[in-house]
Chains A and B, each alone.
Chain A
Amino acid sequence: MRSRGLMLLLVFSSQAFAFDLQQLSDQLAKPSVIHGSFIQEKHLRALPQPLTSKGTFVLAKDHGLLWLLKIPLQQDYRINAKGIARRDGSGWQMLPGKSAGAEQNRIFLAVLQGDSSGLQRDFELSLSGEAQNWKLTLTPRSMLLKQVFNQINIDGGELVQRIELLETQGDSTVLRMQDITSAAPLSDAEQHDFAE
């Protein structure tokens, strides 16, 4: 009897104090605009060095994501509810909505925005750590996703800091977000980019 009482206490206390998915969602959904820079490393099995690229990003809760690749080549992307667009000389060009690609981008957006309900459909989620230092592991549920990803690991504090995609083929991608700030609102140019 005593041991059972002790166990109950433990269960209750862990439920009461653990950092849970809902709290994570709330925390990530709080800022309406986030600015930051990123470093992307693509580790290909056949290459000794990763393919590294750098740039900045703007994540706006109500608008979507601007992803501005600067190095080694310049290329701007925009993801929102309508799909994914790429900027060329004449403005934003919507990319044809390839079904699988569109889904992947939806997942990407869900990861950045901490939309755990959207992710729970396709992945087993396991969260550890605390509000200022947490780690979320996504394991694919469906046969289709399992054939593409082994796992997705997301680390963060106040906001998302690192995303790691482990592909079944042995390649992996690591995205690191730096200098993240939720202080500045959207600039006129950014608003224009989202609106167009």
Chain B
Amino acid sequence: MTLPSERMLPRLFLTLLMAVLALAGWQWHDGAPLSANLMDLVPGTAPDALELKAEQRIQEPLNREMLVLVGHANRQQAIAMTKKLGEQWLASGVFEKVQWNLQADLPALRTQLLQGRLAMLSAADRQQLIEQPQAFIQQRVQALFDPFTGFSLVPSQDDWFGLTGRIQNSQPQHGSVQLDIGSGALVADADGKSWVLLRARTSGNAFDMQLPLKVAEQLLHSREEAARADVQLLAASGLLYAAHGQQQATREITWVGGGATLGILLLLLLAFRRLRVLLAFVPVLVGMLFGSVACVALFGHMHVMTLVLGSSLIGVAVDYPLHYLSKSWSLKPWHSWPALRLTLPGLTLSLATSCIGYLALAWTPFPALTQIAVFSAGGLLGAYLSAVCLLPALLKGTDLRPAQWPLRVAEFLLSVRQALLKRVRSSVLLVLVLAFCAGGLWHLTSKNDIRQWVGAPPQLMSEAQTIARITGYQPTSQFFLVRAANQQQLLERQKALGERLDLLVKQDKLKGYLALNQLVSMPSEQQQVREALNKLPAFWQPLLDLGIPVTALQAELAQLQALPVEDVAAALVGPLAEPWRPLWLGATDDGVAAMVSLQGLNDPALLRVQALDLPGVQLVDRLDDLNHVFAATQISAAELKLLSCVLIVLLLILPFGVGGALRLVALPLLAALCSLASLGWLGQPLTLFSVFGLLLVTAISVDYAILMREQIGGAAVSLLGTLLAAATTWLSFGLLAISSTPAVSNFGLSVSLGLAFSFILAPWARPSAHAAPVAEPAA
């Protein structure tokens, strides 16, 4: 019963398996080539290097820093706990820098203020100096007597005109955080508690998979410790989202993979009643191995999301052995190699159509989907090869005596269908189905948002919002990129943008923004200040009246005149410049560039308008760009789907003829349409992911149509084969629907719906009994 070639196949396959295992071993030799960075999954839309650099600057603190508020009704207790936690964190080795108190370097501050007297003066102070020198001097006299102006960092005799005091007082307030002068801590009061700010910056690189988990663990310990002292911690960091994503992915791989595995094994045992039939799981394992090796070989790494979605491959891979195992209901006695020979053409067609379906995903601009496509195609090939070359040898001599109840279920289902067809003709049913589809599609709404990729945990979200409310720090991912030929022009352009943003702030559409022109004025403005100072001797009599020697004033004036024009790089050196430092991008190929960062954005749509007709100013809004890419991809995905159907039709013409091929593809398409309609009726939005799911289902369900058309071993046996295949596939994809990542669950839901409809429609793959019998393909 076994051909000589069939004796060779297992050995050849085992050699291949060894080679692939060796490759896998080499790929994993220095750590798991896994990645959890969300940005790996989305298309790269940033076209030029400068934009990319700017984006990384904005992203960096999100991915490396953690912001924590330590809250207690008693300020001193909150500070004490902050100090304690800060020390523990620094000792933990997870963080390279932990900061909770301001170690103000006053000498450096003084130097910066004195050096920046021409360049750092605010617009209002500059205007007063130029236009109302008399009032300017008057205010200075007043300030000298004022006991409440707060201490000036620079002593009066070094700055008789009070320029440093004005600069100090015009510094933008950063949120509602105040300095606790005793401890140097930054404290905000809200909700009846004092909240002390604690910032931590992680050591090590951001691509370390363990880092987010370590940070989350450290935070958890600290939370517990703080809770014992009745202190509350609020934390915000991109790292916490990453940690949550990883934990969730691990959990879901366990649930989906484990659930699908258990379910499928149970189904196999119940249906075939032989322990050895569990060997049918070998192709699944081989498939996983081939898939991950292919993925790492092509991309250098594999994303955890690929693993989550890829775990659904279990249900598809197990279909290959089921093809010939299910023949045991009609072939008596059943022998592995002959059963395989009988089903090999169908199996091969099934591999081809599934691969076409999966690989269609690879042509979308989504790295995530390309990875899944490669993983799945590689996996299917591995599963197919092991099912064809190895498994029959392993199952040789097994005497399959399957349970009869599944067959009776299939027969019952067929009789129900017959009864239905007796009353209602197929054409009428088709009209009804189309009406159902039309109604559902009418209700279908489309929704595309990057946030579907992130299963945003409500607790992290609400903590981040609370922190934003308490501190006023609300960094946004959008920013403006400003380019110019030189610094003067750059600052001019930032000023023009700033005037528009000021309006938004006034209208409460924006909390605030940071731009370099707030720190340092244009060279031309610095020159104006210099000229205005030169005219001061005509107005400084009130200062002389106080007893200030005229020589002192003259010396100071000479000193001010000698100050060089301060450029951006020089202005960024001192401690006051810290918030602005990341904004400066420096020299570019055609000039200079800098960013303008935003705080507390309430209306993103307004931003795009601000950059219009401002030369050199560009809004960078990665999320919005991505959402546009999503929407565009949805359309190209639909086109790909049709294209893949054309390919499948072409493939099927050879064995089934044009009419047969069209019929075999029309059914999965109708099933996809029904699923779309169901989404509409269920009130679920159509997303990019549901489209991808349906794209896939078309490819898989062609298989069911082929099974039902060929009807090897009779209608009931074929339906049973289809039922088993659909059930195993559904076990793995359907479980994805429980994922808390909206994208994944949406994908699972649409595949589940598609599978159900494909199963129901599959019997129509064979023209009804009264039509002329179609020639059976060579079996």
**A interface list, Cβ under 8 A from B:** 40, 42, 44-49, 51, 53, 67, 69, 72-73, 75, 77, 79, 84, 95-105, 107-108, 121-122, 141-145, 147-148, 167, 169-171, 173, 175
Report B-chain residues with C-beta under 8 Å of the C-beta of A51.
144-145, 546-547
Q: How far is the CA of A98 from the CA of B151 in the complex (A)?
A: 11
CB of B148 within 8 A of CB of A79, answer yes
Report A-chain residues with C-beta under 8 Å of the C-beta of B546.
47, 51
CB of A72 within 8 A of CB of B145, answer yes
Contact sample, A vs B, 21 pairs, CB 8 Å cutoff: A44-B156, A46-B156, A46-B548, A48-B547, A51-B546, A72-B145, A75-B145, A75-B146, A98-B150, A102-B178, A103-B178, A103-B181, A121-B182, A144-B102, A144-B104, A144-B181, A147-B104, A148-B151, A170-B155, A171-B155, A175-B147
Total A-B contacts with CB atoms under 8 angstroms apart: 103
Q: How far is the CA of A95 from the CA of B106 in the complex (A)?
A: 24
CB of B144 within 8 A of CB of A121, answer no
B169 contacts chain A at the CB level, 8 A cutoff: yes
Q: Given A46-B156, A144-B102, A99 and B178 touching (CB < 8 A)? A: yes
Q: How far is the CA of A121 from the CA of B194 in the complex (A)?
A: 16
Specify which of A47, A77, A98, A104 is in contact with B547 (CB 8 Å cutoff): A47
CB of B147 within 8 A of CB of A67, answer yes
Which residues of chain B from 129 to 160 have a CB within 8 Å of any chain A CB? 141-142, 144-151, 155-157
Closest chain A residue to B157 by CB distance? Answer: A46
How close is A63's CB to chain B, nearest CB, in angstroms? 17
Report A-chain residues with C-beta under 8 Å of the C-beta of B148.
67, 77, 79, 84, 95, 101, 104-105, 108
**B interface list, Cβ under 8 A from A:** 76, 102-104, 106, 141-142, 144-151, 155-157, 168-169, 173, 178-184, 546-549, 552
Given contact pairs A40-B145, A49-B547, A98-B150, a sample of 20 additional A-B residue pairs in the complex whose CB atoms are under 8 Å apart: A44-B156, A67-B148, A72-B145, A73-B141, A73-B145, A75-B142, A75-B146, A77-B146, A84-B148, A96-B169, A101-B149, A102-B178, A105-B148, A122-B181, A122-B182, A142-B181, A144-B104, A147-B104, A167-B151, A173-B147
Q: How far is the CA of A142 from the CA of B45 in the complex (A)?
A: 50
Report B-chain residues with C-beta under 8 Å of the C-beta of A169.
155
Q: Is the interface of A mostly helix, strand, loop or mixed?
A: mixed
Closest chain A residue to B548 by CB distance? Answer: A47
Residue of B149, B157, B181, B552 most packed against chain A (CB within 10 A): B181
How close is A129's CB to chain B, nearest CB, in angstroms? 25
Report B-chain residues with C-beta under 8 Å of the C-beta of A105.
148, 150
Closest chain A residue to B102 by CB distance? Answer: A144
In the complex, the 9 A-B pairs of residues with the closest C-beta atoms, listed nearest first: A101-B150, A46-B157, A103-B181, A122-B182, A169-B155, A99-B179, A99-B178, A53-B145, A147-B106
Q: Given A145-B181, A171-B156, A46 and B552 touching (CB < 8 A)? A: yes
Report B-chain residues with C-beta under 8 Å of the C-beta of A147.
104, 106
CB of A100 within 8 A of CB of B147, answer no
Q: How far is the CA of A122 from the CA of B79 in the complex (A)?
A: 13
Report B-chain residues with C-beta under 8 Å of the C-beta of A122.
181-182
Report A-chain residues with C-beta under 8 Å of the C-beta of B184.
142-144
Report A-chain residues with C-beta under 8 Å of the C-beta of B146.
75, 77
Q: How far is the CA of A105 from the CA of B148 in the complex (A)?
A: 7
Q: How far is the CA of A36 from the CA of B597 in the complex (A)?
A: 51
Closest chain B residue to A50 by CB distance? Answer: B547
Q: How far is the CA of A148 from the CA of B184 in the complex (A)?
A: 13
Report B-chain residues with C-beta under 8 Å of the C-beta of A103.
178-181
CB of A142 within 8 A of CB of B157, answer no
Report A-chain residues with C-beta under 8 Å of the C-beta of B156.
44, 46, 171
Q: Given A46-B157, A48-B547, A143-B103, A97 and B178 touching (CB < 8 A)? A: yes
Report A-chain residues with C-beta under 8 Å of the C-beta of B549.
46
CB of A45 within 8 A of CB of B145, answer no
How close is B195's CB to chain A, nearest CB, in angstroms? 15
Q: How far is the CA of A104 from the CA of B541 in the complex (A)?
A: 31
How close is A133's CB to chain B, nearest CB, in angstroms? 25
Q: Given A46-B552, A47-B548, A73 and B142 touching (CB < 8 A)? A: yes
How close is B551's CB to chain A, nearest CB, in angstroms? 10
Q: How far is the CA of A142 from the CA of B103 in the complex (A)?
A: 10
Report B-chain residues with C-beta under 8 Å of the C-beta of A141.
182
Q: How far is the CA of A108 from the CA of B146 in the complex (A)?
A: 13
Report A-chain residues with C-beta under 8 Å of the C-beta of B181.
100, 103-104, 107, 122, 142, 144-145
Report B-chain residues with C-beta under 8 Å of the C-beta of A148.
106, 151
